[in-house]
Amino acid sequence: MTDESGDGQLEARLAEQEAFEPSDDFIEQANVADESIYEEFEEEWPECWTRAADLLDWDEEYTEILDDSEGPFYEWFADGTLNASYNCVDRHVEAGDKNRVAIKWEGEHGNTRTYTYQDLYREVNEFAAALRDLGVEEDDVVTMYMPMVPELPIAMLACARIGAPHSVVFAGFSAEALATRMNAAESRYLITCDGYYRRGDPLDHQAKANEGLSSVDHGVDATVVVDRLGDDGFGHDLKGNQHDWDDLLADFQGDRVDPVERNAEDMLFLMYTSGTTGKPKGVKHTTGGYLAYTAWTSHAVLDLEPEDTYWCSADIGWITGHSYIVYGPLALGTTTVMYEGTPDYPDRGRLWELVEKYAVDVFYTAPTAIRAFMKWGPEYPESYDLSTLRLLGTVGEPINPRAWKWYYKHIGGEECPIVDTWWQTETGGMMVSTLPGIGTMKPGSAGPPLPGIDARVVDTDGEEVDAGQAGYLTVQRPWPGMLRTLYRNDERFIDEYWDEYSDPDEGEWVYFPEDGAKIDDDGYITILGRVDDVVNVSGHRLGTMEIESAIVGVDGVAEAAVVGGDHDIKGEAVYAYVILEDGYDGTEETRDRIIEGVEDAIGPIARPEEVTFTPELPKTRSGKIMRRLLEEIANGEELGDTTTLRNPDVVSDIQEQASGD
Residue numbers of the site for ligand PRX (CB under 6 A)? 273, 319-320, 395-398, 420-425, 446, 513, 515, 527, 529-530, 536, 541
H or E element in which residue 336 lies: strand 335-339
- Minimum distance from CB of 395 to ligand PRX (Å)? 5
Quick one: 421 or 614, whose CB is closer to ligand PRX? 421
Q: How far is the CB of 304 from ligand PRX (least distance, A)?
A: 17
For ligand PRX, the closer CB: 252 or 422: 422
Instruction: Report the nearest approach of ligand PRX to the CB of residue 396 (Å).
Output: 5
Strand 262-263 relative to strand 81-82, pairing:
antiparallel
The Cα–Cα gap between 234 and 164 comes to: 31
Report the residue number, 318 or 358, with the smaller CB distance to ligand PRX.
Answer: 318
Nearest distance from C-beta of residue 429 to ligand PRX, angstroms: 9
Cross-strand bridge partners of residue 571 = 537, 567
Nearest approach in angstroms of CB 472 to ligand PRX is 12
Q: Any alpha helices (H) in 332-448, and if so which ranges? A: 350-358, 367-376, 379-382, 401-406
Q: In angstroms, what is the minimal distance from the CB of 364 to ligand PRX?
A: 11
- Least Cα distance to 634 among 597, 615, 608 occurs for 608
Is 208:173 a contact under the CB 8 Å cutoff? no
Q: Which is nearer to ligand PRX, 206 or 421 (CB)?
A: 421
> 286 vs 433, which CB is nearer to ligand PRX?
433
H or E element, residue 121: helix 117-133
Q: Which is nearer to ligand PRX, 465 or 531 (CB)?
A: 531
Nearer to ligand PRX, 398 or 452 (CB): 398
CB 576 within 8 A of CB 550: no
Our CB check for ligand PRX shows the closer of 188 and 530 to be: 530
Which is closer to ligand PRX, CB of 292 or CB of 301? 301
- Which contacts qualify for 635-644: CB closer than 8 Å, 24 or more apart? 635/565, 635/566, 642/618, 644/620
How far apart CA 626 and CA 19 sit, in angstroms, is 39
Of the pair 390, 541, the CB lying nearest ligand PRX is at 541
Q: At 506, phi and psi to the nearest 5? A: -90, 0
Q: What angle do CA 453, 459, 465 make, to 5 degrees?
A: 70
Contact 606, 580 (CB under 8 A): no
Min separation Cβ 367 and ligand PRX, Å:
8
Residue (290 or 423) nearer to ligand PRX, CB: 423
Tell me how many degrees the CA angle 502-435-482 measures, rounded to the nearest 5: 35
Smallest distance, ligand PRX to C-beta of residue 323, A: 8
Rounded to 5, what percent of the chain is helix, strand, coil?
Answer: 35, 25, 45
User: How many angstroms separate the CA atoms of 236 and 373, rounded?
Assistant: 38
Neighbouring CB atoms inside 10 A of 406's CB total 27
Residues 6 or more apart whose CB falls under 8 angstroms from that of 568 comprise: 1, 371, 375
Minimal distance in Å, beta carbon 534 to ligand PRX? Answer: 7
What does the DSSP 8-state code read for residue 472? E
R_g (Cα) of the chain, nearest Å? 24
CA 62, chain centre distance (Å) = 29
Q: Which lies closer to ligand PRX via its Cβ, residue 271 or residue 554?
A: 271
Query: Closest Cα partner for 482 from 52, 122, 75?
Result: 75
What is the smallest separation between the CB atom of 189 and ligand PRX, expressed in angstroms? 25
Cβ contact 527:399 at 8 Å:
no
CB of 34 to ligand PRX, least distance (A): 24
Q: C-beta of 280: minimal distance to ligand PRX in Å?
A: 12
Taking Cα atoms as reference points, which of 474, 95, 150, 88 lies closest to residue 294?
88
CB atoms within 10 A of CB 464: 14
